Amino acid sequence: MNIKITGTGSYIPDVIEKNENFHQHKFLNADGSIINSSNEVIIEKFKAITGIGERRYVDKSLNNSDIAFYAAQKAIEDAKIDQEELDYLIVAHNYGDVKYNIDQSDTVPSIASRVKHLLGIKNPKCVGYDILFGCPGWIEAVIQANAFIKSGMAKKCLVIGAETLSRVIDKYDRDSMIYSDGAGAVIVEASNDDGGIITHESATYALDQAHYIYFGETNNPEISDKRRYIKMYGRKIYEFALNHVPVAMKSCLDKSGIAITDVKKILIHQANEKMDEAIVKRFYKLYGMKMPENIMPMTINKLGNSSVATVPTLYDMILKGKMNGHSINKGDIILFASVGAGMNINAIVYKN
């Protein structure tokens, strides 16, 4: 028995927020001091490092559970399954439903329960739950679905990664330009077909690294309310990722017994273009090789960093022929990888 992804779907929001839309923002340092550069220079440097030229935000009328539902619908349709046969519905996210202009996050009921409700699934034995695992949440949820199916507890699982980070960003923080919204979903099921999930690897580094990404107050000292926003120590994350993610990717690949030269694509969390490129280069360096051309498709330049949604969205876009110059064919070996808040890292070796 193999465990495969048999259907994919994604939701890419319609609202395009271009870099030039930030020219009138008042960016401040973490201590509230003025940044001694014009916004044009700040944004130019930001683009050079992250690769982000624009990002997507959800419409004011939509919430995270809505876009998770849209992606799920597409994945179910793509897999051609009866949704009543789903055993698990797992949603990876980090901030719940944050309604437009409402400060408080809403996580009761769970996003999974909301999605199940919106899908109209009647079967009570379809168990819905959420997973909080930082940006690697979707990959970790796929690993959990794999475990359920291997153990005989499930045959079909719906796994979603969805986030509306535009609702938790501090407009005075230049890092706010990184984040975006989106959703991606897959059906994972037992299959007699060749391929599927071969090996996986996960780790949590929390002794010194737990708070590299955190929820903190605005950079503007003139604002007295205690609302909190997504914050990070970018340099520490960069160094952490370069030191740990390539090693985890290598460990995962080595366990599979598959040669590095057989890997056709690396679908890595779209966190930061320069960081992702450095991770993949270092991964190949561990094998004494240079990073091959066209091995690492990227969506971050147009879609930004939508956390748990980046990897499933990227996978769906490639399979649906929406990524120029990239394709994934039957039998291709793919390496999924991610790093994020926790600090968590994970990887999957997958045969399409």
| Bond before 124 cis per omega within 30 degrees | no
Task: Write the pLDDT tens digit of every residue in 221-273.
Answer: 888 887 889 999 989 999 999 999 999 999 999 999 999 999 999 999 999 99
DSSP letter assigned to residue 284: H
Domain that holds residue 60: 2-193
Same domain, 183 and 225: no
Instruction: Answer whether 351's CB lies under 8 Å from 198's CB.
Output: yes
**Boundary (domain end) residue, out of 158, 193, 228:** 193
Task: Write the pLDDT tens digit of every residue in 52-99.
Answer: 999 999 999 999 999 999 999 999 999 999 999 999 999 999 999 999
**Which three-class secondary structure state does DSSP give residue 170?**
coil
Same domain, 186 and 212: no
Same domain, 218 and 185: no
**Which three-class secondary structure state does DSSP give residue 288?**
coil
Average pLDDT over residues 274-284: 96
pLDDT of residue 219: 86
Instruction: Answer whether 149's CB lies under 8 Å from 157's CB.
Output: yes
Backbone φ and ψ of 266, nearest 5°: -115, 115
How many domains are contained in the chain? Answer: 2
Same domain, 188 and 221: no
pLDDT of 322 above 80: yes
pLDDT of 139 above 90: yes
pLDDT of residue 106: 87
pLDDT of residue 24: 83
Same domain, 143 and 58: yes
Transcribe 229-257 into DSSP letters.
Answer: EEEE-HHHHHHHHHHHHHHHHHHHHHHHT
Instruction: Specify the pTM.
Output: 0.94
What CATH number did the domain enclosing 287 receive? Answer: 3.40.47.10
**Boundary (domain end) residue, out of 147, 169, 193:** 193
pLDDT of 103 above 90: no
Task: Write the pLDDT tens digit of every residue in 36-48.
Answer: 888 889 999 999 9
pLDDT of residue 36: 85
Compute the distance between CA of residue 175 and CA of residue 307 in angstroms, rounded to an integer. 14
The position carrying tokens 């050079």 is 48
